[in-house]
């Protein structure tokens, strides 16, 4: 055999999109020159899954399981996806939250093989050349982060690449997007995390973050290059810090088919779960009183979608906003606070609204005073402040409502506003609880964005949408809320995520048609047609 033939055989095994490992048949081994490169046993996908399951079970902790699965993904995409889809409840916490948080913190420690693209500031004039790689010709979905606000862990720099990789693994597992059609990208403009920069293993650009006009120019070059290289691509903005998150979304949502999962995906997931919860309580959405703790990108996004939902159910905008109270790092968000971010200005209450409040101190009005005076029916946490929902806050809330709805949504577990077992204890079991991460507490719902973003992306692509509109996210939220859960939970079990993604995709695609942003024949947007295009993890 020629050297080129041998090289081609090794390349087949080295490419995760073509490697089948021991599942190559004897005929394939003969054809591709694989004899000797593989052990003689001819396996099946099922036997390969069993082998990896045993390996996972023998590992000492979830971080090592995460690293193992990342390496498997880099060697055999079909096997990785088949393993994930075989046991989503077990695998979801390993490939994404909560374990991905530690994966990002220790990303440089476990980096082995290239996956996705690192677009660093020193290479700002090479973006188009980097994207020109023919291996990227099939890309339909991009998830991009600059690593500045990774979950509740802050600036992780290049380590933030763990988030796009994890999100896209779920696009494939849940929405059936082919692994060759997804592209994780990390915008590396430096990091202000000194511990990362000083780590000798750090794989990113060792420089403080570029900001201001230089950052904006770099992002403009990136978006222009993506739009030119991948017409019609769906781009998901992920884990950008507050102001950048809003600025990038507003600047580019009309130029690229794009959305911000932290702002819009979190909002749709939270509102959809809340709609399911209030069916349990029997109190209409228009009569809910909501306190949001954390008014950054996620919290503000939840508030705005709630306002739209209440208005759709009959309230005037002012009436809807009067029912939502936001508490941030400086206390209750009031209109006389100087230099409020734009997204908080819309949430701010007039100081005249609180003149009759009972207060426990003379300083800024905190969460406890807000809960005691508003007597909320719903409490949502998006602060990243562990333990912020203390016993006093929860008991004050429970004193005023029969079935308090409490969603500590911050990720990972180390940043959750409360442990759900405590919430149930402090409310005598009356609370309806949803958490951002899985806690393993019976009757508690995991309010994870994975219920929304794969379906939104699939529906936007299937409809050929020119834009991901706010109405499409409202349609996604209502579709999710209509699904309900099983037993005490508010959402379908993790085992049904693929079905959920299809359900959401159909609702989103139909909304795109209603709003006139779809570009495909409406007859192609049936549930059956969309389902037929979803990739299955099987060997060719």
Q: What is the pLDDT of residues 379-414, one digit of tens each?
A: 999 999 999 999 999 999 999 899 999 999 998 899
The pLDDT mean for the chain works out to 96
From edge to edge, which strands make up the β-sheet containing 182-188? 117-120, 182-188, 141-145, 234-237, 257-260
Of these residues, 20, 66, 96, 215, which one is catalytic? 96
Residue ranges of the domains in the chain? Answer: 3-77, 93-252, 265-447, 451-532
Question: What are the binding residues?
Answer: 149, 238-239, 262, 411, 448
Residue 1: the pLDDT is 61
Which segments of 127-241 does DSSP mark as H helices, in order?
Answer: 127-131, 162-175, 194-198, 212-229
Q: What is the rounded radius of gyration, in angstroms, for the C-alpha atoms of the chain? A: 24
Question: What is the fold, at CATH topology level, of the domain defined by 93-252?
Answer: Rossmann fold (3.40.50)
In the residue annotation, 60 being an active-site residue is answered as no
Residue with tokens 């695609």: 509
Q: Where are the beta strands (DSSP E) in 16-124?
A: 117-120
Helix 497-514 with 470-483: angle, nearest 10 deg? 140
Residues placed in the known binding site for (S)-malate:
149, 411, 448
**For residue 346, what pLDDT is reported?**
93
Instruction: Give the CA distances from residue 64 to residues 95, 100, 108, in Å, rounded to whole numbers and listed in that order.
Output: 11, 11, 14
Q: Do the two domains 3-77 and 93-252 of this chain adopt the same fold?
A: no
Question: pLDDT (tens digit, 9 = 90+) per residue, 451-474?
Answer: 999 999 999 999 999 999 999 999
Distance between CA atoms of 30 and 53, rounded to whole angstroms?
A: 29
Distances in whole angstroms, Cα of residue 352 to Cα of each of 34, 292, 332, 336, 344: 77, 20, 13, 10, 18
The pLDDT of residue 329: 87
Contact 370, 354 (CB under 8 A): no
- Position 152 scores a pLDDT of 85
Catalytic annotation present for 96 = yes
Q: How many residues does the chain have?
A: 540
Cα–Cα nearest to 175, from 85, 267, 80: 85
Q: Which of 101, 149, 175, 60 is nearest to 438 (CA)?
A: 101
Give every residue of the chain whose pLDDT is below 50, as ranges: none
Q: Which among 167, 171, 215, 246 is annotated as catalytic?
A: 167
Indicate yes or no: pTM above 0.85.
Answer: yes
Residues annotated within a binding site for a divalent metal cation: 238-239, 262
Q: Which CATH architecture has domain 3-77?
A: Up-down Bundle (1.20)
Residues 6+ apart with CB under 8 A from 28: 20, 34
Superfamily name with CATH number, domain 265-447: NAD(P)-binding Rossmann-like Domain (3.40.50.720)
């Amino acid at each position: 055999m020629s050297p080129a033939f041998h090289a081609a055989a090794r390349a087949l095994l080295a490419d995760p999109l073509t490697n089948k490992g021991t599942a190559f048949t004897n005929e394939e081994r003969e054809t591709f020159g694989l004899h000797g490169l593989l052990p003689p046993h001819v396996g099946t996908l099922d036997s390969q899954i069993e082998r990896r399951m045993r390996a996972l079970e023998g590992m000492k902790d979830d971080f090592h399981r995460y690293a193992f699965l990342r390496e498997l993904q880099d060697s055999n995409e079909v096997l990785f996806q088949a393993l994930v889809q075989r046991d989503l409840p077990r695998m979801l916490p390993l490939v994404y939250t909560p374990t991905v948080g530690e994966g990002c913190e220790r990303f440089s420690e476990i980096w082995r093989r290239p996956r996705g693209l690192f677009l660093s500031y020193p290479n700002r004039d090479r973006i188009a050349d980097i994207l020109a790689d023919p291996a990227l010709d099939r890309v339909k979905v991009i998830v991009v982060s600059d690593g500045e606000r990774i979950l509740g862990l802050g600036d992780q720099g290049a380590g933030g690449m763990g988030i796009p990789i994890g999100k896209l693994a779920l696009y494939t597992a849940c929405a059936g997007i082919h692994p060759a059609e997804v592209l994780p990208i990390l915008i590396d403009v430096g990091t202000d995390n000194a511990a990362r920069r000083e780590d000798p293993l750090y794989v990113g650009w060792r420089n403080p973050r570029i900001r201001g006009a230089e950052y904006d120019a770099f992002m403009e070059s990136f978006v222009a290059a993506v739009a030119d290289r991948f017409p019609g691509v769906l781009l998901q903005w992920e884990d950008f810090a507050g102001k950048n998150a809003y600025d990038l979304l507003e600047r580019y949502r009309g130029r690229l088919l794009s959305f911000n999962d932290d702002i819009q995906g979190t909002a749709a997931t939270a509102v959809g779960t809340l709609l399911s919860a209030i069916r349990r309580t029997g109190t209409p959405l228009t009569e809910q009183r909501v306190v949001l703790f954390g008014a950054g990108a996620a919290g503000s996004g939840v508030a705005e979608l709630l306002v739209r939902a209440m208005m759709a159910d009959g309230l005037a905008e002012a009436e809807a906003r009067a029912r939502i109270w936001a508490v941030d790092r400086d206390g209750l968000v009031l209109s006389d606070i100087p230099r409020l971010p734009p997204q908080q200005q819309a949430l701010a209450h007039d100081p005249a609204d609180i003149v009759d409040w009972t207060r426990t101190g003379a300083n800024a009005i905190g969460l406890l005073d807000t809960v005691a005076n508003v007597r909320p029916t719903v409490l949502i946490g998006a602060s990243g402040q562990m333990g912020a929902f203390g016993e006093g806050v929860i008991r004050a809330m429970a004193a005023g409502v029969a079935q308090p709805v409490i969603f500590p949504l911050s990720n990972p577990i180390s940043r959750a506003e409360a442990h759900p077992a405590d919430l149930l204890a402090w409310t005598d079991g009356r609370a309806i609880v949803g958490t951002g991460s899985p806690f393993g507490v019976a009757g508690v719902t995991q309010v994870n964005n994975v219920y929304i973003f794969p379906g939104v992306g699939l529906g936007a692509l299937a409809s050929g949408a020119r834009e991901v509109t706010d109405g499409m996210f409202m349609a996604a939220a209502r579709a999710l809320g209509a699904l309900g859960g099983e037993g005490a939970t508010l959402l379908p079990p993790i085992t049904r995520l693929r079905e959920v993604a299809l359900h959401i995709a159909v609702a989103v695609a139909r909304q795109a048609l209603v709003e006139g942003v779809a570009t495909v024949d409406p007859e192609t947007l049936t549930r059956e047609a969309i389902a037929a295009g979803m990739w299955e993890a099987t060997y060719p």
